[in-house]
Amino acid sequence: MNGAKKGEKMVSEERLRLTFTDIAPQGDALARHDGEVVFAANGIPGEEAIVLAKRRKRYIVGEAVELLRESPHRIEARCPHFGKCSGCQWQHIDYPFQLALKRQMVVRQLRERGSFPDAPVLATLPAAEPWHYRNHARFSVDPQGQLGFVHKQTRNFVPIDFCHLMHPWINSVLAALQGKCAGAHQVAVRYGVNTGEQLIQPKLQQIDIPSGQPCYEEELLGRRFRISAPSFFQVNTPQAENLFNVLRDHLQPRGTELVIDVFAGVGTFATLLAPLVGRVIAVEEAAAAVKDAAVNITGLDNIEFLQGRAEEVLPRIEGVPDVAVLDPPRVGCHRRALAALLQLSPRRIIYVSCEPATLARDLKILCEGGYRLVAVQPVDMFPQTYHVECVATLVRGDISPDLVLASASPRRRELLFVLGLDFEAIAPPEDEPLPTDAENVERVAEQLALEKAEAVAKVAGHKTVVAADTVVIHRGTIMGKPRDDDEAQQMLRRLRGEEHIVITGVAVLSEGRSYIGHAATTVTMRHYSDEEVSAYIASGEALDKAGAYGIQDPLFAPAAEVDGCYLNVVGLPLCKLARMLREAGVSVGPRPLWALPPQCHECEGREGLLGD
């Protein structure tokens, strides 16, 4: 958002004292000044800072130059060029908070552009290595033959000797090429992380390193791919493998499906899916990618490649596919392609996107056309930047799930999606009264959950119903949800620096039988300030939570210590629920570790999710 648009008048800079409340779609911190929106580089939500700002016609842009209140998530940027080359936007933010911000950005785009008020967005899947992950670099070249990057707003050339995002081999090539590329406008360097193969374009005359290769090869999940110079391939090889794992998990292949892979590229998804399904029809427009794919699908006789634009090829496909996989460029899908897809009416659609805004737009069209959004999994393909990949799953609306969640809570819906189950959510008729029996609170929580399940079962028919109810106990007193801002403020101050217990009762109703249980977690709150409490109350996030707090809120982060199941505090202990569902005859397969929330990775009780 930095930089003036064409025709906008530049004005002198001014210093503004601002508090950042959110993150903008392009990665800047967001604030308001006299009703105007301010986009500031080098800021973090929750910080107060002096911003050196310039007014545009419709907004203000600037940079945080003096911190008055620093975020606990602020760290020292590794790169001396940070802020100058604009390739990274978030090196000053710790990695866990980057993941939280990316999920937050996806949620906002789905809400504002897609009209999904409570989109089922899971926690962002982290990269195992958030540095030196890029297998592809495109360097600009100055008249002296120096390689570097051009700042996207100022257009200033920044010479680069070392990039903390690039694979070490690319950095070694960068050092060898410096000052030897005069006459070239750009130099592209690509590296096969799993093969050791390389591609440098264009052909360079004054270097000893081979260059000008027409293609190179990379390997994903044991399968080799040829990629020619013009063809697209994911820049983060390990996360590309994880991305496919997410897609496969959402697709749930049974071995007989007809899958349409639209925007198939060099055949990455089609080739990896072919051994798992019955047949794949791949659609791709780019001639170079189709030529690569012809090599990559060697030995697989159940893939058919169709070259052409999606909006022109899809209407020619006959039959009803079981699954359609979409992986369009950043601009998203053409409306005619979406219309043709709706006409084909696959049972399930898996939409892979690198741009949350166009994803939200297209998901809205598909859901207005009769589909139901089941889950959205952000995947961090691009650490240290605001960019995020998403895998969204939709199911045709006439396919009714056999599982019902008796809850209106977005958090419980988000958690239940982690189990990989398709379900619908039905809110109980009305909120339960606040229990008063603190002596038998476990039994009370279980009973409240059972009553919710029974109420929803009356309208759900013969489907399996899941319900939960959370009770918070502090010094022997049961705490309920605050009714207004004053109550929320009182509760948060009461809990400050104190220990309390969170108990969640869980109930499953299936085929006339009931299964009940509970989980208990002890939480110790940190000594947060009154100012932090006021800021959290002002966000509107405190009023729908027992005990007036959200342990998962990335800005407030009120808990100093959690002893027991973290997900229980959020509202649904998945390990307990998974065992209960299996006991009730619902198929809950073992979940891969990457699919679980980060808080589960070190938890001793996660065996219930990984498989008993």
Which residues on neighbouring strands pair with residue 375, listed in sequence order?
393
The Cα 470–Cα 245 span in angstroms is 33
**Coil, strand, or helix at residue 441?**
helix
| CA terminus-to-terminus distance, the chain | 49
CB 516 within 8 A of CB 466: no
Task: For residue 322, give Cα distances in angstroms to 27, 101, 244.
Answer: 37, 34, 18
CB 236 within 8 A of CB 166: no
Burial class of residue 541, CB neighbours in 10 A (0-12, 13-18, 19+):
middle
Q: Both tokens of residue 76?
A: 């020292």
Closest CA to 274 of 305, 320, 239, 313: 305
The Cα 90–Cα 69 span in angstroms is 18
The Cα 566–Cα 559 span in angstroms is 11
**Coil, strand, or helix at residue 82?**
coil
The Cα 425–Cα 442 span in angstroms is 25
Burial class of residue 452, CB neighbours in 10 A (0-12, 13-18, 19+):
buried
**Crossing angle (nearest 10°) for helices 410-417 and 574-583:** 60
Q: For the chain, how big is the Rg over CA atoms in Å?
A: 26
One-letter amino acid for residue 43 of the chain: G
**Residues in Cβ contact with 75 at an 8 Å cutoff, skipping those fewer than 6 apart:** 91, 92, 93, 94
Marked catalytic residue, from 354, 390, 600, 603: 354
The Cα 89–Cα 93 span in angstroms is 9
Q: Both tokens of residue 116?
A: 């999904």
Say whether 333 is catalytic: no
**Coil, strand, or helix at residue 354?**
coil
Closest CA to 268 of 240, 242, 309, 288: 240
CB 407 within 8 A of CB 376: no
Which residues on neighbouring strands pair with residue 466, listed in sequence order?
405, 508
The Cα 486–Cα 532 span in angstroms is 15
**Residues in Cβ contact with 374 at an 8 Å cutoff, skipping those fewer than 6 apart:** 120, 393, 394, 395, 417, 422
Indicate which residues carry an active-site annotation: 354
